[in-house]
Chain A
Amino acid sequence: MSVQGWTFLIVAASFTLYIGIAIWARAGSTKDFYVASGGVPPLANGMATAADWMSAASFIGMAGLISFLGYDGSVYLMGWTGGYVLLALLLAPYLRKFGKFTVPDFIGDRYYSSAARLVAVLCAIFVSFTYVAGQMRGVGVVFARFLEVPVNTGVIIGMVLVFFYATLGGMKGITYTQVAQYCVLIFAFTVPAVFISILLTGNPIPQLGFGGSLGGDVGTAISGGQQVYLLDKLNQLHSDLGFAPYTDGSKPMVDVFFITMALMVGTAGLPHVIIRFYTVPKVRDARISAGWALMFIGILYTTAPAVAAFARTNLIETVNESTYAGGGEKDTPQWFKTWEATSLIAWVDKNEDGKIQYRKGAAFAGKPNYTADVGAYGQRLVENELTDNENELYIDRDIMVLANPEIAQLPAWVIALVAAGGLAAALSTAAGLLLVVSTSVSHDLLKRTMMPDISEKQELLYARLAAAGAVFIAGFFGIYPPGFVAQVVAFAFGLAASSFFPAIILGIFYKRMNREGALAGMVTGISFTAIYIIYFKFLGGTSDQWLFGISPEGIGTLGMIINFIVALVVSNMTPPPPDEVQQIVEDIRVPKGAGAASAH
């Protein structure tokens, strides 16, 4: 069977599974819809959290990103996992004990203020939409690449599917679909990784092969039969071609520190992650499900850097100095041309020797803009303005994961599996985010703020309508992606880090924290972070103006510190919170008597 036949079969089978689960797990009450009635077993919640958290960017993009960044890519590895330690130790058990449904619920009740609730709702909606736009686009791109339909058709298929199980099943439907999606995506990620590890190092475990010697069919050819460690070889290749060593960084240390911290704290403050810990029966389950979640996430996050190093070594070895037209000492591999056809690779023969030279720097300005013509060797030509360095190769980072099965010459069904995995990653994250948006609108905005008198049934209807509306808006952003999506992702983490995180932490660990302090802290934290990011991302600020050398990606950390300081100072100058609020704080610190998550 052809690759496309396999892809249709596996993708269709996985979609049928998701829809079947959605019908089985449809929601009957608002409690089902918002938090799956607090009845999800911790192990299942861990898997669902992992699928919720790992987006198309984690599945497709991250290994590629690390591959090109080397050590500097560690900020994503540590940043996107370390936050779960904070969640498990500082947030999840207490928020679960508090009950209720959402983060704005906690902020609103703990700080006895509808203004604080409203600020939290708006942040939650903004953060979630920022994220979801990228996910729907990801669905479209995966469809387009593997099933050869237009990107927009892919977005619409994804919308229909998410619409179906998010509006029907709510959190319950989404949770059990995410469990299935986790299994699909982790299988799809690890199978090619294992094969590539065997090919390059002879070791079937990528995490060990990463530190091992070159071996296996491809690895032996690269090392020429000598005993040499993969990472040493990679560093040597890098220095031969003028790149910085793979295992050393080129970002300033202070920036690495601040970005890692912003990502960790931002992760712990993201509403779609926090809400998952309301779905388990007990405080004890909230603790352990964070552990399971990180374990399931860790499988992908420790495999990705190994894949990154394998792919990087293989890319440089097979492509650099290869003869494009064939018939040379080393010929350009076939996969290179397959992906060139999909516009993810471009080669400009600057020195006209018919061989590909891969060096430091961009081969030309921007993304490739292909002409209809082909060059002397059959390569696609681009009309971009060439740079004056020696590099002749443009390569899209996403290719590292997508092309891996072909590079390793794996069977057609593995390639199909990667497509299904990419879709599972994008859909599960999109669904989780859309649920946060719908809950924010129907519960926090309507029920708790604007129309407190609506009945349970009406609230459920509004929740479904809000989910449907959110799907359409997300789909719209997927079809007409705003050019600034990449820039605003920094916003999502910075915002979560500088607003929610300090407010929740102080709300639990500092009984004296009051409304005035929390509000002042959130407002200064967000404003500082937002102004910094807007100035450097949109108003043309340059990197030599960075405060203490901190990039906009890392500024959320400073925003968080400012939030903490302002909140503490202001709260100590204003009256303490009322007794009943102090009682809430006493109460959430002890697990006993958690009960089910409830609205009142």
Chain B
Amino acid sequence: MSDKSPQAYWKRNLTYLVVLLSIWFIVSYGCGILFVNQLNAITIPGTGFKLGFWFAQQGAIYVFILLIFAYVYLMNSLDKEFGVGED
């Protein structure tokens, strides 16, 4: 029987946050800003997009949307597992 305490629930929640926010930071601040010049040396095959520029103006936004839906999915499963959902 695994730990079903609120503390355990909170800890799992924090783990998800750290992972998802790291991705958030990497795609926007990493790929779109800090390493944009290095990534711009690469062009996305079949398009005119330089990779860093694409992350800054397109890619980061797509990843943001995916991150929120991933979080929703993870938390809904977590709520169910710990029996703390609202219905």
**A230 on interface, CB distance cutoff 8 Å:** yes
What chain A residues lie within 8 Å of B69 (beta carbons)?
291
- A590 closest partner in B (C-beta): B84
Number of interchain pairs (Cβ within 8 Å):
132
- Is A231 an interface residue, CB under 8 A from the partner? yes
Is the pair A291, B56 in contact by a Cβ cutoff of 8 Å?
no
- As a 0/1 sequence over residues 239 to 269 of chain A, the CB contacts with chain B under 8 angstroms (1 = contact) are 0000000011100010011001100100000
- Bitwise, A488-515 to B at CB < 8 A (1) or not (0) is 0000000000000000000000000000
Please indicate the chain B residues that have their CB under 8 angstroms from the CB of A66 in the complex. Answer: 57
Within residues 189 to 235 of chain A, which ones have a CB less than 8 A from any CB in chain B? 207-208, 210-213, 229-232
- From known contacts A82-B60, A305-B58, infer whether A591 and B68 are also in contact, taking CB-CB under 8 Å: no
Pairwise interchain contact B33-A256, C-beta atoms closer than 8 A: yes
CB-CB under 8 A from A256, the residues of chain B are 33
Please tell me if A282 contacts chain B, counting CB pairs below 8 Å: yes
A590-B9 contact in complex given A78-B32, A291-B65, C-beta closer than 8 Å:
yes
- In the assembled complex, the Cα of A207 lies from the Cα of B61 at a distance in Å of 12
Name, among B6, B17, B58, B61, the residue most crowded by chain A CB atoms within 10 Å (CB to CB).
B61
Find out whether the CB atom of B49 lies under 8 angstroms from the CB atom of A74: no
Q: Is A141 an interface residue (CB 8 A)?
A: no
Q: Give the dominant DSSP class at B's interface.
A: helix
Question: Which A-chain residue is minimally distant from B6 (CB atoms)?
Answer: A590
Contacts of B86 in A (CB 8 A): 282-284, 591-594
Q: Would you call A74 and B56 a contact (CB within 8 A)? A: yes
- Contact B48 A211, beta carbon cutoff 8 Å: yes
A336 in contact (CB, < 8 A): no
A282-314 with Cβ < 8 A to chain B: 282-284, 287-288, 290-291, 294-295, 298, 301-302, 305
Nearest-neighbor residue (CB-CB) of B43 within chain A:
A229
For A74, what are the chain B residues with a Cβ–Cβ distance below 8 Å?
32, 53, 56-57
CB under 8 Å from chain A, chain B span 34-75 = 34, 36, 40, 44, 47-50, 53-54, 56-58, 60-62, 64-65, 67-69, 71-72, 75
Instruction: Please name all residues of chain A whose beta carbon is closer than 8 Å to the beta carbon of B44 when the two chains form the complex.
Output: 211
CB distance from B55 to the nearest CB of A (A): 9
Complex Cα spacing A249 to B54, Å: 13
**A85-93, A320-328, A470-478: which lies at the B interface?**
A85-93
Q: Is A586's beta carbon under 8 Å from chain B? A: yes
Cross-chain contact A260 with B61 (CB below 8 angstroms): no
Q: How distant is the Cα of A73 from the Cα of B79 in the complex, in angstroms?
A: 40
- Given known pairs A81-B61, A253-B33, the reply for A591 and B49 (CB within 8 Å) is no
A212→B68 contact, CB < 8 A = no
Contact of B48 among A232, A287, A290 (CB under 8 A): A232
Q: Report whether B17 and A589 are in contact in the complex, using a CB–CB cutoff of 8 Å.
A: no
A556 shortest CB reach to chain B, Å: 16
- Using CB atoms, name the residue of chain B closest to A294: B65
Closest CB-CB distance, A449 to chain B, in whole Å? 32
Which A residues from 54 to 95 make CB contacts under 8 A with B?
Answer: 66, 71, 73-74, 77-78, 81-82, 84-85, 88-90, 93
Which residue of B44, B54, B56, B75 has the most chain A CB atoms within 10 A of its CB atom? Answer: B56
A229: chain B residues at CB < 8 Å are 47-48
Chain B minimum-CB-distance residue to A305: B57
Given contacts A294-B68, A295-B65, contact A78 B28 (CB under 8 A): yes
B64 touches A589 (CB 8 A): no
Question: What residues on A are CB-neighbors of B10 within 8 Å?
Answer: 589
- Contact A77 B61, CB 8 Å, known A253-B33, A287-B75, A592-B85: yes
A589's partner among B6, B53, B85 (CB-CB below 8 A) is B6
Of B34, B36, B72, the most chain A CB neighbours within 10 A belong to B72
Q: B58 near A89 (CB under 8 angstroms)?
A: no
Known: A260-B33, A591-B85. A78 touches B68 (CB 8 A): no
Say yes or no: A248-B24 contact (C-beta < 8 A), given A207-B58, A231-B49. no
Docked CA distance A506–B67 (Å): 22
A257 contacts B79, CB within 8 Å?
no
Residues of A within 8 A of B61 (CB): 77-78, 81, 298, 301-302
Q: Which residue of B48, B60, B76 contacts A284 across the interface (Cβ within 8 Å)?
A: B76
In the complex the two chains form, is B62's CB within 8 Å of A78's CB?
Answer: no
List chain B residues, Cβ under 8 A from A248: 40
Q: Roughly how many angstroms separate A593 CA and B84 CA in the complex, as a whole number?
A: 9
Measured between C-beta atoms, what is the minimum distance from A106 to chain B in Å?
A: 19
CB-CB < 8 A to B29: which residues of A? 257, 260-261
CB nearest neighbor in A for B47: A211
Contact B64 A81, beta carbon cutoff 8 Å: yes
- Assuming A284-B79, A294-B64, is B57 touching A77 (CB within 8 A)? yes
- Asked if A89 contacts B21 (CB within 8 A), the reply is yes
A166-198, CB < 8 A from B: none
CB within 8 A of A82: which of B9, B28, B76? Answer: B28
25 CB contacts below 8 A, A to B, read: A71-B57, A78-B56, A81-B61, A82-B24, A82-B60, A85-B20, A85-B67, A85-B68, A88-B68, A90-B17, A211-B47, A211-B48, A211-B49, A229-B47, A230-B48, A247-B40, A257-B34, A284-B72, A284-B75, A288-B72, A298-B64, A301-B61, A302-B57, A302-B58, A305-B57
Q: With contacts A74-B53, A257-B34 known, what are 13 further pairs, Cβ within 8 A?
A: A66-B57, A78-B61, A81-B61, A85-B21, A85-B24, A211-B48, A231-B49, A231-B50, A253-B33, A291-B69, A294-B64, A298-B61, A591-B84
Footprint of B on A, CB under 8 Å? 66, 71, 73-74, 77-78, 81-82, 84-85, 88-90, 93, 207-208, 210-213, 229-232, 247-249, 253, 256-257, 260-261, 264, 282-284, 287-288, 290-291, 294-295, 298, 301-302, 305, 586, 589-594
